[in-house]
């Protein structure tokens, strides 16, 4: 309490998004003036949190306000309503304990003086509001997706369409193909299906100065991504005219209430898929060719890092670095290694070229000398037996995966045929049925092949045979490294 008897008042204002006017927080504070006069207070501080959610506790304005409370500089807090200070039930309850402890009262235009009961009711109402808001938002997003509009971030190869509805409001989520970037998507598919690795493709794109989807440089994960999560240029179903939504459930940090980059992948049965043929960029044949190529490479790269699985075609590619700038030495012409920084980007002054043949022979000789030991023979035998055992389990796992997918396809086809019988015989619906019937046939054929024992892992050999094979391979190391089965590793 001040000497004059006037109570010291701190004002607080907050609004959530830029969709509200930029002066929303200031307007709230201005509206509090009559209440301050009525309470006989004197404003000593004003704290604002513009464009920040009320579900976040780490707001700069709120932190400043509470610091003043803890320092004993405030007798009253005045704001438009309690939900300006907090929306989360836990935060409301926390304020309901903290403010009385420091002998600070809270008055709002909406609720008047906020006592223990009003704090409790506000916490409950905030929780209900949050649940309804989330549900309403998801329903709106789902309706947009079912109407063929995009509810997530814009995918590479597309551009936003500006269109107003009958009320003059912006229609959100409309996309159109960006032909220049769509051509690049098609080129990436052709390169990968033709044998280039995702590392090779990223290198080519960066060398040509083509910006990555989010700016900057391309990398292998941007191109290959993760087939299970349907992320990456080579896995995005949107390129085949299929919009798949609700794949991920984002989590929030309970301390900051920020949405984390981590998320939980939903069960595929919860995903929503809609045909959007106008957004198709890649033909089904090209998409399937890429998927087949990835599956073919996957068998030899299951336990290896991405860059190792995408081994380049030259013996020492990726293993030689420029001592001046640190860039890779890559093949220049037919027979020389040369600094990529100097050759492709012009950012290095090192013009030294190294002849490919002598360098590779010297490297192979040194490797042969180091490998032909009893220790490495034992390691080879142990690793061979481990891998043979692992491969023996793969077909069983693939059969289980195929069976689960077949069950899912049966459910999807059942729903699609119900729509067909109901008279919804659109070309898009028939296309979705055809695609699933084809996938079903492939899975049934694969299961029959495994049942007949056509696909079988290698049998275990005796240690003496394996030792002889190892020594023969190392003795002719260049031929060994040219073997496609070895190069994949």
Query: 């998801």: which residue's tokens?
Result: 138
Write down the pTM of the prediction. 0.40
367 within some domain: no
| Cβ-Cβ contacts under 8 Å for 109 (sequence gap 6 or more) | 31, 32, 35, 79, 80, 81
104 & 220 share domain: no
410 & 297 share domain: no
98 & 180 share domain: no
234 within some domain: yes
323 within some domain: no
179 & 305 share domain: yes
DSSP state of 321: B
Q: Of 133, 153, 186, at which residue does a domain stop? A: 133
Whole-number Å distance between alpha carbons of 160 and 150: 10
What range does the domain containing 431 cover? Answer: 374-487
Q: Of 111, 133, 155, at which residue does a domain stop? A: 133
Whole-number Å distance between alpha carbons of 327 and 320: 9
| pLDDT (average), residues 90-103 | 89
Q: Could you read off the pLDDT of 375-430 as tens digits, one per residue?
A: 888 888 888 777 777 766 665 666 667 778 888 888 888 878 887 787 777 777 78
Burial bucket for residue 375 (CB in 10 Å: 0-12, 13-18, 19+)? exposed
**What's the pLDDT at 454?**
45
407 & 480 share domain: yes
207 within some domain: yes
Q: Could you read off the pLDDT of 20-76 as tens digits, one per residue?
A: 444 578 889 999 999 999 999 999 999 999 888 777 778 899 999 999 999 999 999
27 within some domain: yes
357/17: higher pLDDT? 357
115 & 64 share domain: yes
1 pLDDT higher than 50: no
153 within some domain: no
**Residue closest to 278 by CA, chosen among 168, 365, 150:** 150
**What's the pLDDT at 219?**
81
CATH number at residue 193: 3.90.1750.20
26 within some domain: yes
329 pLDDT higher than 70: yes
Whole-number Å distance between alpha carbons of 468 and 472: 6
Backbone angles phi, psi at 339, to 5 degrees: -60, 125
Q: What's the number of domains the chain is made of?
A: 3
392 & 284 share domain: no
404 & 472 share domain: yes
305 & 179 share domain: yes
Q: Which segment of 68-82, 183-197, 235-249, 401-415 scores lowest on mean pLDDT?
A: 235-249
Q: Of 265, 283, 310, at which residue does a domain stop? A: 310
H-type alpha helices, 243-322? 284-301, 306-309
Q: Could you read off the pLDDT of 301-315 as tens digits, one per residue?
A: 444 444 444 445 677
**What's the pLDDT at 457?**
45
Q: Could you read off the pLDDT of 125-157 as tens digits, one per residue?
A: 766 666 665 556 556 555 655 555 665 666 888
170/52: higher pLDDT? 52
Whole-number Å distance between alpha carbons of 386 and 443: 28
461 within some domain: yes
């Amino acid at each position: 309490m001040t000497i004059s008897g006037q109570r010291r008042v701190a004002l607080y204002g907050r609004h959530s998004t830029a969709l509200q006017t930029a002066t929303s927080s200031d307007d709230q504070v201005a509206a509090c003036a009559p209440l301050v006069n009525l309470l006989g207070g004197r404003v000593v501080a004003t704290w604002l949190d513009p464009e920040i959610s009320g579900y976040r506790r780490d707001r700069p304005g709120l932190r400043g306000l509470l610091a003043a409370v803890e320092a004993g500089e405030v007798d009253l807090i005045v704001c438009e309503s309690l939900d300006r200070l907090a929306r989360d039930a836990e935060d409301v309850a926390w304020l309901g304990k903290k403010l009385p402890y420091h002998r600070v009262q809270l008055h709002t235009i909406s609720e008047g003086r906020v006592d223990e009961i009003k704090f409790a009711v506000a916490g409950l109402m905030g929780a209900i509001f949050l649940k309804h808001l989330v549900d309403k938002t998801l329903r709106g997003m789902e309706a947009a997706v079912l109407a063929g509009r995009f509810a997530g971030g814009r995918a590479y190869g597309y551009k936003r369409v500006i269109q107003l509805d009958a009320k003059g409001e912006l229609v959100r989520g409309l996309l159109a193909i960006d032909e220049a970037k769509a051509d690049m998507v098609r080129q990436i598919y052709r390169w990968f299906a033709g044998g280039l690795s995702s590392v090779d493709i990223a290198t080519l794109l960066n060398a040509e100065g083509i910006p990555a989807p989010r700016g900057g440089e391309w990398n292998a994960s941007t191109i290959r991504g993760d087939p299970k999560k349907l992320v990456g240029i080579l896995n995005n179903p949107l390129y085949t005219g299929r919009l798949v939504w609700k794949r991920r459930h984002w989590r929030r940090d309970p301390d900051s209430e920020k949405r984390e980059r981590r998320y939980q992948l939903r069960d595929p049965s919860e995903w929503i898929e809609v045909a959007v043929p106008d957004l198709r960029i890649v033909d089904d044949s090209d998409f399937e060719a890429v998927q087949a190529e990835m599956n073919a490479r996957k068998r030899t790269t299951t336990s290896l890092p991405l860059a190792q699985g995408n081994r380049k075609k030259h013996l020492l590619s990726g293993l030689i670095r420029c001592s001046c700038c640190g860039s890779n030495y890559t093949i220049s012409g037919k027979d020389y290694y040369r600094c990529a920084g100097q050759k492709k980007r012009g950012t290095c002054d090192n013009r030294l070229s190294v002849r490919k043949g002598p360098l590779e022979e010297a490297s192979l000789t040194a490797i042969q000398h180091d490998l032909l030991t009893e220790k490495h023979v034992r390691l080879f035998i142990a690793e061979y037996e481990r891998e043979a055992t692992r491969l023996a389990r793969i077909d069983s796992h693939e059969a289980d995966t195929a069976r689960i997918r077949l069950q899912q396809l049966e459910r999807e086809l059942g729903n699609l045929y119900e729509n067909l019988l109901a008279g919804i015989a659109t070309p898009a619906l028939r296309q979705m049925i055809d695609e699933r019937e084809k996938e079903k046939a492939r899975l049934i054929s694969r299961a029959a092949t495994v049942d007949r024992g056509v696909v079988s892992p290698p049998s275990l050999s005796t240690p003496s045979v394996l030792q002889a094979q190892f020594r023969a391979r190392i003795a002719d190391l260049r031929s060994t490294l040219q073997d496609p089965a070895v190069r994949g590793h």
